A and B are shown apart, each in its own frame.
Chain A
Amino acid sequence: MHPVVPQPTPITRVTKELSDTFSIHLDVSARGFSYRPGQFNMLYLFGVGEVPISISGDREQGQELVHTIRAVGGVTRPMRTLKTGDFVGLRGPYGTYWPMEEAHGKDLLIAAGGLGLAPLRPAIVHALTHRDRYRRVIVLYGARSPDELLFLKEVERWRGRMDTEVAVTVDHAGDDWFGHVGVVTALVPRATFEAKDTVAFVCGPEVMIRFTVRELERRGVSREAIWVSMERSMKCAIGHCGHCQYGSHFVCKDGPVYRFDRLAPIFHVREV
């Protein structure tokens, strides 16, 4: 069988997240499926096309796999009509993952921008489930506006914990918003962590990654302790099609999660 052949997989639930964003829950109990936080799958809509979607589901839940999708393209828009009992094609998991063990015994800082929270959610859930493995756990999350905050109930639950620092900011808000206003990078200087003993995971738009890394470095976190997740066009996810090339990397197999020092030589060059 060709490695790009997808497997039909039933949908157990579809949840609306934001006006243009939804999550589909897949039943993978029939075949067993294991993944690491930060990895992605290829999801196939019969005859329409295939898209790379990071796994946003909690690995501790086991049998169910969650993908959070923004309806922006020729495949993800028709995916909005999917409902319980429908099928999608699934292949994966692919790519590198958040190295949870790197942060053991250290402060773990997680910075997410917009939909970038989706691939970080399994890492956050994993860290909070095994909270004693880490010193401080800090989650910094930014979105464009209050109604674009993803997983809001869950974020509120995390924020209610006494052992976790959660800061949320939005770019702009109305009078009913009492939280931070501004970009997520502005939260970095205010967060409490020991820079020399911190491991950071960053995911969001590339410009958000750029400025977050800069703030982290300014605080004294080394490039070797910063991990970022990159996004590129992907067709095959197996390192054959060339679309996701980024310098000497294929993001589908060498990424999407990279230790930042490995990207540093090309990260600031335009249009690589």
Chain B
Amino acid sequence: MEPAGQRNDTIALSRNALAGLVNAIKLDGFAVFGPTVRDGAIVYDHLDSLEDLPIGVTDKLAPGHYRLAPREDHALFGHHVGPHSLRREFLIPVATLFRARRTPQGFAQIEEPPPARKLALFGVRPCDLAAVAIQDRVLLNDAYRDTDYAARRHGVLVIAANCTQAGGTCFCASMNTGPEARAGFDLALTELDDDTIVCTIGSDVGRALVQRVEHVPASDQLLERARLLLNDAATHMGRTMDPHGLRDLLATTLEHPRWDDIASRCLGCANCTLSCPTCFCTSMEDMTSLDGTEASRLRRWDSCFTVAFSYVHGGAVRPSLKARYRQWLTHKLGSWHDQFGSSGCVGCGRCITWCPVGIDLTEEITALRQPGGS
């Protein structure tokens, strides 16, 4: 994603041309990943063609509720966000970080080439792109660099799909990450209701790519139609949350009675952390081959909702569910600012949708803003 010489120029292309664009990307040797229907959900997975997108399908999102539903039109991007985020592609669920062979001098590392895959993300959502930028700050731009993450992030082609409708648990407009992608893409698409695609060019790679399919400069009229759709999505978010002052709020309400109330509902299942696109907690597992001559170290997703997560000899630091939920929310919306200069929340709403008891962090923040704390 090299920055373009001229940023933010826009073109218009037909649905057929967009199909051609997918083929052009594939011809360049990219594996194309994007939203597709699988097992009753819209997930990010391999796309062979434009036809693999969730055409004629949408998703109904509510606290603790996710269902697919038919659409009357055949929109390519008439859906919201499913359980997968882009984190699965970069901070992969299980990664081998280190392998070694036992030797007389202790052990010798078995060097392996870094993971190499030409990956194109097609039709990914602005909130998910914002989440990638947040994970980059943690894993690439802090004191140490996760080389596995870095290799998977390198050279990824990004075709974003702006959201022209908002889901029942969406609040990206509150978190300023959507419904229009502003950075981190080569191309960003806005689908209009007559199949016209308005496309913003975000990089020289994106510019070169669109040269390979038929397109015209976007007229003012088309741009205005796109703007109205995006504006409509922004003003019809299923949820809202005022992000201002959250850092201070959460630093000063650690003893608020609301935490007990949340703990009485929370199951501690960790769904919120596993569906969150920015959660980065991992654990490391060391193991040997059966004959003991080789060892490997895996990095695995972990969750602050497990008791074992904070275990030191003698016991867990956060044995109560109240403390574990508080840890998650105060980090996500509060102390993340201190550590990484932004909120850890992009407003994708997955933690609300996938919570089996429908705990809604926007509602909890409203409650924490009421007096009651000490």
Partner of A47, one of B138, B292, B319: B292
- Chain B hits for A265, CB < 8 A: 251
A46→B295 contact, CB < 8 A:
yes
User: Does B133 reach chain A (CB closer than 8 Å)?
Assistant: no
B106: which A residues are within 8 A, CB to CB?
A: 8-10, 46, 87-89
Quick one: CB contact mask for A239-252 with B, threshold 8 Å, 1 for yes? Answer: 11111010110100
Partner of B98, one of A5, A247, A266, A269: A5
A272 sits at the interface (CB 8 A): yes
Asked whether any CB of chain B lies closer than 8 Å to the CB of A4, the reply is: yes
A47 near B286: Cβ-Cβ < 8 Å: yes
B97 / chain A contacts, CB cutoff of 8 Å: 2, 4-5
User: A73 contacts B313, CB within 8 Å?
Assistant: yes
Do B284 and A241 touch across chains, with their CB atoms under 8 A apart? yes
Closest to A73 in B: B313
A89/B107 contact (C-beta < 8 A), A3-B145, A4-B297, A271-B319 known:
yes
Flag whether B312 is at the interface (Cβ < 8 A).
yes
> Is A48 in the interface zone, CB < 8 Å from B?
yes
Q: Of residues 216 to 272 in A, which have CB atoms within 8 Å of B's CB atoms?
A: 231-233, 235-236, 238-243, 245, 247-248, 250, 253, 265-266, 269-272
Asked if A1 lies at the interface with its beta carbon under 8 angstroms from chain B, I say yes
Q: When chains A and B are docked, how far (Å) is the Cα of A1 from the Cα of B148? A: 9
Which residues of A84-105 have CB atoms within 8 Å of chain B's CB atoms?
Answer: 87-89
Question: How many of B's residues come within 8 Å of A, CB to CB?
Answer: 54
CB–CB B284/A2 < 8 A: no
Interface string of A1-38 (1 = CB under 8 A from B): 11111101110000000000000000000000000000
Contacts of B319 in A (CB 8 A): 271
A242 to B318, CA, bound (A): 14
B73 adjacent to chain A (CB < 8 Å):
no
State the Cβ distance, B159 to closest chain A Cβ, in Å.
29
* A269-B255, A271-B323 given; A241·B331 CB < 8 A: no
Q: Which of B94-123 contact A (CB under 8 A)?
A: 97-98, 100, 102-103, 105-109
Instruction: List residues of B (287-316) whose CB comes within 8 Å of A's CBs.
Output: 287-288, 292, 294-295, 297, 299, 302, 304, 309-313
Q: In the bound complex, how far is the Cα of B100 from the Cα of A44, in angstroms?
A: 12
**Given A235-B282, A243-B283, A265-B251: A1 touches B147 (CB 8 Å cut-off):** yes
Task: Decide if A247 touches B282 in the complex (CB within 8 Å).
Answer: no
Contacts A245-B327, A248-B338, A271-B323 given; indicate if A47 touches B295 (C-beta within 8 A). Answer: yes
Contacts of A107 in B (CB 8 A): none
Given A4-B297, A47-B287, A233-B317, verify A242-B281 contact (CB < 8 Å). Answer: yes
Taking the nearest CB of chain A, how far is it from the CB of B374, in angstroms? 10
Give the docked Cα–Cα distance between A72 and B317 (Å).
17
Q: List residues of B (231-263) whose CB comes within 8 Å of A's CBs.
A: 251, 254-255
- Knowing A10-B106, A72-B313, A245-B331 touch, does A50 contact B143 (C-beta < 8 A)? no
> Which residues of chain A are within 8 angstroms of B98 by Cβ–Cβ distance?
2, 4-6
Q: Is the CB of B286 within 8 A of A49?
A: yes
Q: Which single member of B254, B284, B297, B309 contacts A269 (CB below 8 Å)?
A: B254
Min CB distance A265 to B, Å, is: 7
Chain B min CB distance to A234 (Å): 9
A122-154 vs B, Cβ < 8 Å mask (1 yes, 0 no): 000000000000000000000000000000000
> When the two chains form the complex, which single residue of A3, A46, A241 contacts B102, counting CB atoms closer than 8 Å?
A46
B30 contacts the other chain (CB 8 A)? no
Measured in the bound complex, the distance between the Cα atoms of B143 and A241 in whole Å is: 13
Q: How far is the CA of A136 from the CA of B304 in the complex (A)?
A: 44
Q: Pick the contact of A242: B100, B280, B323 (CB < 8 A).
A: B280
Query: In the assembly, what is the distance between CA of A269 and CA of B280, in Å?
Result: 25
B143 contacts A48, C-beta separation under 8 Å: no
- Known: A4-B297, A269-B254. Is A240-B148 also a contact (CB below 8 A)? no
Closest CB-CB distance, A254 to chain B, in whole Å?
A: 9
| Residues of chain A with a CB closer than 8 A to B317's CB | 232-233, 271-272
Task: Contact check, A3 vs B146: say whether CB atoms are below 8 A apart.
Answer: yes
Minimal Cβ-Cβ distance residue in B for A10: B106
CA distance A46 to B283 in the complex (A): 17
| Interchain CB contact under 8 A, A87 and B142 | no
Contacts of A73 in B (CB 8 A): 313
Q: Which of B147, B286, B313 contacts A48 (CB 8 A)?
A: B286
A240 touches B139 (CB 8 A): yes
Interface residues of A in 151-206 (CB under 8 A from B): none
Nearest chain B CB to A2's CB is how many angstroms away? 5
Q: Knowing A89-B106, A233-B317, A253-B143 are in contact, say whether A241-B302 is a contact too (CB < 8 A).
A: yes
> Contact between A235 and B107 (Cβ–Cβ < 8 Å)?
no
Within 8 A of A (CB), among B36-68: none
Task: Choose among A10, A48, A240 the residue that contacts B144 (Cβ–Cβ < 8 A).
Answer: A240
Flag if B284 contacts A44 (CB, 8 Å).
Answer: no
CA distance A269 to B312 in the complex (A): 18
Closest Cβ–Cβ distance, residue B116 to chain A (whole Å): 16
B286:A271 contact, CB within 8 angstroms? no
Residues of B within 8 A of A253 (CB): 143
Top 8 A-B residue pairs of the complex, sorted by shortest distance between their CB atoms: A87-B106, A8-B106, A47-B288, A271-B323, A242-B281, A248-B335, A47-B295, A248-B338
Pull 16 A–B residue pairs with CB atoms less than 8 Å apart, ordered by A.
A4-B297, A10-B106, A46-B288, A48-B286, A48-B288, A50-B284, A87-B106, A232-B312, A239-B138, A240-B138, A240-B146, A241-B284, A242-B282, A243-B309, A248-B339, A253-B143
Q: A235-B282, A241-B283, A271-B323 are in contact. List 5 more A-B contacts (CB 8 A).
A: A8-B108, A72-B313, A89-B106, A232-B312, A270-B323
